[in-house]
Amino acid sequence: MAPKNPKPSKYGFNTLAVHAGGAPDPATGARNVPIYQNASYVFEDVDHAASLFNLQTFGYIYSRLSNPTVAALEERLAALEGGRGATCTSTGHAAQLVALFPLMNPGAHIVAGNKLYGGSVTQFSRTITKFGWEATFAEATDPASFKAAIRPETKAIFVECLANPGGVVVDIEKVAEIADEAGIPLIVDNTMATPYLCRPIEWGATLVVNSLTKFLTGNGTSMGGVVTDSGDFDWGRNDKFPSLSKPEPAYHGLTFWETFGDLAFTMHSHAIGLRDLGTTLAPMNAFLTLSGLETLSLRMEKHCRNAMEVASWLQSHPQVAWVSYAGLDDSPYRLLAEKYLPNGAGSVFTFGVKGGFDQGVKVVESCEIVSHLANIGDTHSLILHPASTTHRQLTEEQLVAAGAGPDVIRLSIGLEDAKDIIDDLDQALNRSAIQAA
């Protein structure tokens, strides 16, 4: 089936990645978007200031709310995801909080897939309870489990389209249909895929979140996050979302949905979310991400080619028990990957090392080129033992459910020569086997 609601653009993906949101600077002619490293902006007069504070005029007040460099990045990201608007944040975790903020209230509930980054599991199972919010975890590979978990107080469904760390591909279209039937938005974390590999909005997602820290910047230099709004959700279709559909006292009774229509969520996220949560993206990090986006498609193609070569090689290694990569012919997610990830199955995947937890630790400590650190989406190849690092805060049951059991090793394949990555993994696996003997 073809993607739903495609948003045609005058330009192709690569042109948008280079040009969207960025025009030559009118004052200097600078081709790249300048770094506007300032906190606040001069008003033309009192009336101009009042119109800005009343949300009657678009413009800049204070960089916690908006900044020209960040705004250019938001426009580019919205164009690449096929969305209506975007809100950049200081980190990917902050983006998840900003995505939920306009939807939730004390007593509200979300349904989240159980195949998530460990930090997201902790954020949803523990941290959001301090706001009076609650999450139920559904089986990410079974769309029906999401429907069964929905309650009257449920405000959203949250999934990772390509789950971290196990590379599980979620059937976005089916989950979107369940969310639509319930009158709630589907939020999709697209970090592992990026809009080059997957466009969740075209499959029914309402909101898309990304950690800019990963592939979108691409070189491990900058922290950031983004929430992109499809602009397709009717926030007034029921009484579940009063922050968007009812008068807002802080803005003299303005109703975001009535006033801004398909920009309601994005306007609320800037005017209230960033104003009150303060999860603002730094202009320098926005500039670095803008630069990274210009080569996104080229990098993702190389990432995916290398990952396929490494994953295929690992399948035959005597120290490897299994490999979970959606691009492999025997992957249970191969057909879903072909549907949702036509340009490649990403570069992050897991494999099981024989010998369990202790052996996994030995392997990551034996690598020389592949770096042992807690990140993905870098030009460098990266390796991690999730059970002892990123997912160590989870229970044993949660570890297994998240695809981060004791024998699991996560790889984020970079842009080096594939042969060199393979040679390094080979010596690490062999050395760890000798140490264990």
Predicted confidence (pLDDT) per residue in 179-217, tens digit: 999 999 999 999 999 999 999 999 999 999 999 999 999
CA distance 168 to 344: 14
Q: Does pLDDT of 100 surpass 60? A: yes
Q: What is the mean pLDDT of the chain?
A: 94
Q: Are 190 and 212 in contact (CB under 8 A)?
A: no
Per-residue pLDDT band for 425 (boundaries 50, 70, 90) equals very high
Count how many Cα atoms sit within 13 Å of the Cα of residue 436 in the half-sphere of its side chain: 19
pLDDT of residue 142: 97
Report domain extents, the chain: 35-292, 296-436
Q: Does pLDDT of 1 surpass 60? A: no
CATH topology of domain 296-436: Aspartate Aminotransferase, domain 1 (3.90.1150)
* 118-161 confidence digits (pLDDT tens): 889 999 999 999 999 999 999 999 999 999 999 999 999 999 99
Alpha carbon 194 to its chain's center: 8
Per-residue pLDDT band for 299 (boundaries 50, 70, 90) equals very high
Per-residue pLDDT band for 164 (boundaries 50, 70, 90) equals confident
Length of the chain: 437
* 355-376 confidence digits (pLDDT tens): 888 888 899 999 999 999 989 9
Answer whether 0.85 is exceeded by the pTM.
yes
pLDDT of residue 405: 81
For 35-292, CATH number? Answer: 3.40.640.10
For residue 135, give both structure tokens: 């999450």
Dihedral sign computed on CA atoms, order 18, 23, 27, 28? positive
Q: Are 158 and 113 in contact (CB under 8 A)?
A: yes
pLDDT of residue 265: 98
pLDDT of residue 360: 87
Q: What is the DSSP letter of 3?
A: P
Dihedral sign computed on CA atoms, order 249, 250, 252, 257? negative
Task: Tell me how crowded residue 299 is: count the other CB atoms within 10 A of its CB.
Answer: 23
pLDDT of residue 316: 96
Per-residue pLDDT band for 397 (boundaries 50, 70, 90) equals confident
